[in-house]
């Protein structure tokens, strides 16, 4: 199924980029790509976005397993009938599994994309996929609501 392939590509890209960071950068090292705007910064996160829920590894593992099961069920059910929602779910699935692999194997997520201009939390490919996927899901709900006249 195409949507599981998309999730697999996200997982592969996420894990490959994290591997590069772990093997070629020191923890805390920051490489400016656009000085004072965007850096590659090697960081580890033991919590969720914005550093919340630090050291709650098992909570994240349990929640991620439940989310992954729910998304897989939804993708099987929706499939080609709702391509936009299915695409969005495939992005969330790939991102969730990408960060799950980090948490399950090391207890911490490798982050490296650092928008220093706005002091935004450092993130990774999995985080981007989850955020974009959720954004598309919200757009889908909005567009479907408008179609049905709600």
- pLDDT tens track for 61-91: 888 999 999 999 999 998 788 999 999 999 9
3-state helix, strand, coil in the chain (%, to 5): 65, 15, 20
127 tagged catalytic: yes
Query: How far is 80 from 19, CA to CA, in rounded Å?
Result: 33
Q: Which one from 14, 102, 114, 127 is the annotated catalytic residue?
A: 127
Mean pLDDT of the chain: 91
Q: How confident is the model at residue 149 (pLDDT cuts 50, 70, 90)?
A: low
111 tagged catalytic: yes
Q: Is residue 52 over pLDDT 70? A: no
Mean pLDDT of 117-124: 91
pTM: 0.90
Q: Which one from 14, 111, 114, 140 is the annotated catalytic residue?
A: 111
Q: What is the pLDDT of residue 34?
A: 96
Q: What is the pLDDT of residue 144?
A: 79
33 three-state secondary structure? strand
């Amino acid at each position: 199924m195409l949507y599981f392939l998309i999730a697999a590509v996200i997982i592969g890209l996420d894990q490959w980029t994290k591997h590069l960071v772990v093997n070629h950068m020191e923890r805390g090292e920051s490489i400016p790509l656009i000085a004072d705007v965007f850096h590659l910064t090697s960081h580890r996160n033991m919590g969720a976005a914005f550093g919340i829920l630090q050291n709650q590894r098992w909570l994240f593992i349990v929640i991620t397993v439940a989310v992954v099961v729910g998304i897989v069920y939804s993708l099987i059910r929706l499939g080609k009938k709702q391509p936009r929602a299915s695409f969005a779910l495939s992005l969330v699935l790939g991102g969730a599994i990408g960060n799950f692999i980090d948490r399950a194997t090391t207890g911490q997520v490798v982050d490296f994309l650092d928008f220093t201009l706005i002091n935004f939390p450092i993130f990774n490919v999995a985080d981007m996929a989850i955020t974009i996927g959720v954004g598309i899901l919200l757009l889908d709900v909005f567009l479907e609501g408008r179609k049905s006249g709600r």
